[in-house]
């Protein structure tokens, strides 16, 4: 158990965090600590983190924080604190401690791997590449060279990834085989996409395909050059946007030569509505989801929502491995809280979304913005409204690159040979295309 022994941090920012803990607000305290983690005194940071850990009942982190507060220069204390922070979902707080631990013991591969893990969880793949490259003469193929290949892909350096992948032998431990196969598929997808896609720092569709095998249907028409690069932050969805996504799905299936015989309906209401509409658009019957069904399109509105429905986690687990001819389509995919599985087709990427039939914001009679009631009509009637909607998009801000249907289908035609292969493992990074995100 952490004991503060009447000690308080001296830094102004950390004192504010301490006051939040006095009020019992652990999340607010950590929000104050994280931005300054790189420059705040480690011993004082450990005081705050240790007290927060004690309040949360995280004895491992509390013990490690206490040891670091007592001896911030000790290598083992630095590593133990960093390791505990990573395990408790605080990688930004782990990085300074692990970096200092590695600086004091530059040959410690265990420390290097934990630092790389923290960088990865923060999306700081360039720094992970730098650390791994610096230790290349000492590290082992598995996991170290594999990690270098992975982080090179995630930072967009395919040349480095290919050079390092060529040096990577098959793993002796069979537990690494699925990981090796996923990495091979990433590089194969990159090779198929390169002739038709720039795979540069703004090529969202190209990199979504390389990373997870997802074909992205549309780009956000707002804020492309102002930090969003094709992703949405908050989105109030529309029936027309749902139809546009289904029409792109139909074009995708046609261009890829896929011939589904049915639409499989997931049990959550949002997915059922969209699935019924998809069946009409694709001209195939809709059936309740059944594991292992072949030649079907499984339709989800938002996989995170599907996971919360009764039986949802079990169904998503059954979708991890792909049945022959099965396509998983997700309309609105959360890129900051990624689903447990990765869809084959996605209409759009968002941080927060409200379905068209959900509690949308509207102007009240007094002109004030209010939240309207959800549409509780039967799913079949709402699905019919989607099918009859106008799929044409608004102009947006006029700064998003043109994305005509022909360019989309040309992309699909080029990459379909490497599409629908392997499992649907969860994405662990937003990859080489950065986007602004909002708290």
Q: What is the pLDDT of residues 342-354, one digit of tens each?
A: 999 999 999 999 9
Pairing between β-strand 215-216 and β-strand 345-350 as defined by DSSP bridges? parallel
- For 109, phi then psi, to 5°, come to -65, -30
What was the pLDDT predicted at 438? Answer: 80
Mean pLDDT of 419-425: 97
Domain 12-185 part of CATH 1.25.40.10: yes
Pairing between β-strand 369-371 and β-strand 361-363 as defined by DSSP bridges? antiparallel
What was the pLDDT predicted at 1? Answer: 46
Q: Where are the domains of the chain?
A: 12-185, 200-418
What was the pLDDT predicted at 363? Answer: 77
What was the pLDDT predicted at 360? Answer: 92
Mean pLDDT of 101-115: 95
Mean pLDDT of 381-403: 92
Fold of 200-418: Rossmann fold (3.40.50)
pLDDT classification of 202: cutoffs 50, 70, 90: very high
Residue with tokens 């952490």: 2
Instruction: With beta carbons less than 8 A apart as the criterion, state whether 62 and 1 touch.
Output: yes
Chain-wide mean pLDDT for the chain?
95
What was the pLDDT predicted at 365? Answer: 73
Give the whole-number percent of the chain exceeding pLDDT 90.
92
What was the pLDDT predicted at 406? Answer: 97
CA angle 302/304/308 to nearest 5° reads 115
What is the 8-class DSSP label of residue 84?
Answer: H
Residue 376 has pLDDT above 90, yes or no: yes
Instruction: With beta carbons less than 8 A apart as the criterion, state whether 3 and 66 touch.
Output: yes
Using the CB atoms, write b or e for 255-274: b if 16+ within 10 Å.
bbebebebbbbbebbbbbbb
What was the pLDDT predicted at 4? Answer: 45
Instruction: With beta carbons less than 8 A apart as the criterion, state whether 2 and 63 touch.
Output: yes
pLDDT classification of 3: cutoffs 50, 70, 90: very low
Residues near 55 by Cβ (< 8 Å), separated by ≥ 6? Answer: 21, 24, 26
In a 10 Å sphere around its CB, with 0-12 CB exposed, 13-18 middle and 19+ buried, how is residue 120 labelled? Answer: buried
Q: What is the pLDDT of residues 17-39, one digit of tens each?
A: 999 999 999 999 999 999 999 99
What was the pLDDT predicted at 6? Answer: 53
What was the pLDDT predicted at 367? Answer: 75
What was the pLDDT predicted at 217? Answer: 98
What was the pLDDT predicted at 233? Answer: 94
Residues near 80 by Cβ (< 8 Å), separated by ≥ 6? Answer: 64, 67, 68
What was the pLDDT predicted at 437? Answer: 86
Least confident of 56-70, 125-139, 192-206, 356-370: 356-370
Q: What is the pLDDT of residues 275-295, one digit of tens each?
A: 999 999 999 999 999 999 999
pLDDT classification of 308: cutoffs 50, 70, 90: very high
Instruction: With beta carbons less than 8 A apart as the criterion, state whether 93 and 61 touch.
Output: no
What is the 8-class DSSP label of residue 106?
Answer: T
> What H or E segment, with its residue span, contains residue 232?
none
Q: Measure Cα distances from 218 to 208, 234, 394, 404 in Å.
A: 12, 16, 13, 10
């Amino acid at each position: 158990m952490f004991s503060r022994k009447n000690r308080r941090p001296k830094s102004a920012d950390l004192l504010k965090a301490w006051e939040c803990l006095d009020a019992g607000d652990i999340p607010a305290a950590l929000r104050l600590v994280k931005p300054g983690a790189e420059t705040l005194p480690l011993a004082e940071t450990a005081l705050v983190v240790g007290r927060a850990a004690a309040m949360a009942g995280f004895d491992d982190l509390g013990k490690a924080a206490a040891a670091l507060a007592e001896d911030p220069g000790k290598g083992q204390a630095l590593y133990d604190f960093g390791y505990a922070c990573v395990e408790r979902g605080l990688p930004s707080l782990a990085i300074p401690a692990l970096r200092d631990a590695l600086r004091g013991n530059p040959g410690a591969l265990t420390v290097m791997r934990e630092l790389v893990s923290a960088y990865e969880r923060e999306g700081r793949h360039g720094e992970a590449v730098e650390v791994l490259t610096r230790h290349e003469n000492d590290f082992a193929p598995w996991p170290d060279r594999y990690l270098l290949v992975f982080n090179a892909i995630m930072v967009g350096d395919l040349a480095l990834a290919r050079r390092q992948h060529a040096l990577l032998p098959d793993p002796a431990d069979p537990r690494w085989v699925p990981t090796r196969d996923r990495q091979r598929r990433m590089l194969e997808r990159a090779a198929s996409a390169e002739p038709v896609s720039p795979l540069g720092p703004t090529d969202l569709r190209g990199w979504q395909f390389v990373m997870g095998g997802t074909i992205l249907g549309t780009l956000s028409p707002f804020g492309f050059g102002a930090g969003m690069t094709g992703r949405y932050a908050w989105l109030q969805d529309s029936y027309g946007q749902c139809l546009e996504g289904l029409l792109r799905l139909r074009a995708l299936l046609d261009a890829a030569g896929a011939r589904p015989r049915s639409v499989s309906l997931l049990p959550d209401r949002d997915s059922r509505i969209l699935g019924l509409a998809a069946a009409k658009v694709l001209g195939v019957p809709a059936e309740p989801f059944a594991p292992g069904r072949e030649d079907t399109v499984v339709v989800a509105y938002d996989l995170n929502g599907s996971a919360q429905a009764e039986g949802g986690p079990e169904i998503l687990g059954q979708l991890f491995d792909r049945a022959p001819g099965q396509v998983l389509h997700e309309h609105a995919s959360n890129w900051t809280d990624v689903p447990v599985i990765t869809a084959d087709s996605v209409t759009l990427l968002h941080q927060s979304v409200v379905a068209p039939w959900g509690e949308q914001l509207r102007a009240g009679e007094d002109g004030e913005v209010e939240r309207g009631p959800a549409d509780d009509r039967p799913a079949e009637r709402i699905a019919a409204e989607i099918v009859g909607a106008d799929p044409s998009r608004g102009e947006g801000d006029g700064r998003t690159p043109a994305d005509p249907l022909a360019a989309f289908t040309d992309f699909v035609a080029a990459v379909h040979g490497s599409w629908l292969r392997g499992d649907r493992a969860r994405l662990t990074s937003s990859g080489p295309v950065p986007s602004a995100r909002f708290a």
